[in-house]
A = this chain, B = another copy of it.
Amino acid sequence: MHFAGQHILSVNQFERADIETIFAVADQMLPYARRKRVTRVLEGAVLGNMFFEPSTRTRVSFGSAFNLLGGEVRETTGFEDSAIAKGESLYDTARVISGYSDVIAMRHPEPGSVAEFASASRVPVLNGGDGANEHPTQALLDLYTIKSEMHGRGGDIDGLRIALIGDLRYGRTVHSLCKLLCLFQGLEVHLISPPELRMPGDIVETMRSADHKVTETEDLEDHIAHVDIAYSTRIQEERFGSREEADLYRGRFRLNQNIYTQHCEPNTVIMHPLPRDSREGARELDDDLNDNPNLAIFRQTDNGVVVRMALFALVLDVVEQVDRDARDVNWYTGSRFQ
């Protein structure tokens, strides 16, 4: 696809070549995101960071990504306004806000709302999550993390062995990631969940149609034994009848350093879309893994900035200009990036 001026609404809009384009631009963004270099390519541009549902993490990630390209951010957090309560349509909101901005990142609780908004917007819209529907930048940052972790281990996405663990039924994150994985070849996918929380059948079918080897199981320990990536997810207790019922599942799909050492191959990468639940009784990914160098969860969020910078640069068509007039960072940065 030609990115300039396009909306980024769904993982379904990408072909493999698009993913490769995004990741190549993301690589180009690394020196800026890692505070080696400063670019001002979008100086004067305004991001409308429209979060009609709160999400500090995603909102700040979009905002920082835009700032790191030199642009300014105007934003909203939650339905602060009464305009929608007074009956304003998404069409009107989009027409108005897109006059204030050069590009919009939007989160909204209603599935489909971001696409509806985008159809009326006069500037490119990036979907920052529309309810249970889509969260394409999360899927992209997950896949980019997989690629870069595998690259560090001499591997690639093609041929990847991955375990997806936990609540595979309700997590839009794993759904979107699976769709993206279908653009690649020869994967071995272990879907580890309680029967009640299995991956929706259509997604399993799509992966099988892509010639991936897909196994559905309840057995954590056997199925994390020979994978490159163990991707854990939070058990979403709000979906269960009671906390006690949810606790049954949590106990069985907990990953900690002991289980890791006993069952996983060395250097198995651990991922999680975050937030992870660190409360007693939850801990699907135990804090005792924090010093494990294969814990990639904070490299994932770091990569979120990189991927969002790449998308902004692409839809605003400044990729060729990013490195022009860039300079070295002149303040203290320490050695924060692993």
Binding site for B on A (CB under 8 A): 4-5, 35, 38-46, 48, 54-57, 60-61, 63-64, 67-68, 70, 72-74, 76-78, 80-84, 86-89, 91-92, 95-102, 122-124, 234, 274-279, 282, 287, 290, 297-298, 301-302, 305, 315-318, 321, 329-334, 336-337
Chain B residues within 8 Å of A41, by CB: 330-331
Q: Out of B82, B100, B275, which one reaches A92, CB within 8 Å?
A: B275
User: Pick the contact of A331 from B54, B57, B89, B102 — CB < 8 Å?
Assistant: B102
A324 to chain B, nearest CB (A): 10
Q: Are A317 and B331 in contact, with the CB atoms below 8 A? A: yes
Contact assessment for B73 and A60 in the assembled complex, using a CB-CB cutoff below 8 Å: no
Copies in the complex: 3
Contact B56 A67 (CB under 8 A): no
With A99-B305, A302-B99, A331-B316 in contact, is A64–B74 under 8 Å at CB?
A: yes
Q: How far is the CA of A334 from the CA of B331 in the complex (A)?
A: 32
Contacts of A97 in B (CB 8 A): 56-57, 60
Chain B residues lying within 8 Å of A123, measured Cβ to Cβ, are 334, 336
What residues of B have a CB within 8 angstroms of the CB of A55 in the complex?
81
Interface of A is mostly: loop
Evaluate contact between A64 and B318: CB separation under 8 angstroms. no
Q: Is A56 a contact of B38 with CB atoms below 8 Å?
A: no
Q: Tell me the smallest distance from the CB of A320 to a CB of chain B, in Å.
A: 10
Q: Is the CB of A61 within 8 A of B274?
A: no
* A88 CB contact (under 8 Å) in B70, B98, B278, B334: B278
The answer to whether B302 and A318 touch across the interface, beta carbons within 8 angstroms, is: no
Q: What are the residues of chain B within 8 A of A316 when measuring CB–CB?
A: 331-332
B5-A334 in contact (CB<8A): yes
Using A74-B63, A77-B80, A278-B87 as known contacts, say yes or no to A99 and B332 having CB atoms under 8 A apart: no
Other A-B contacts than A46-B64, A61-B100, A316-B332, 8 sampled, CB-CB below 8 A, are A56-B83, A57-B96, A57-B97, A67-B72, A67-B74, A87-B278, A91-B287, A318-B332
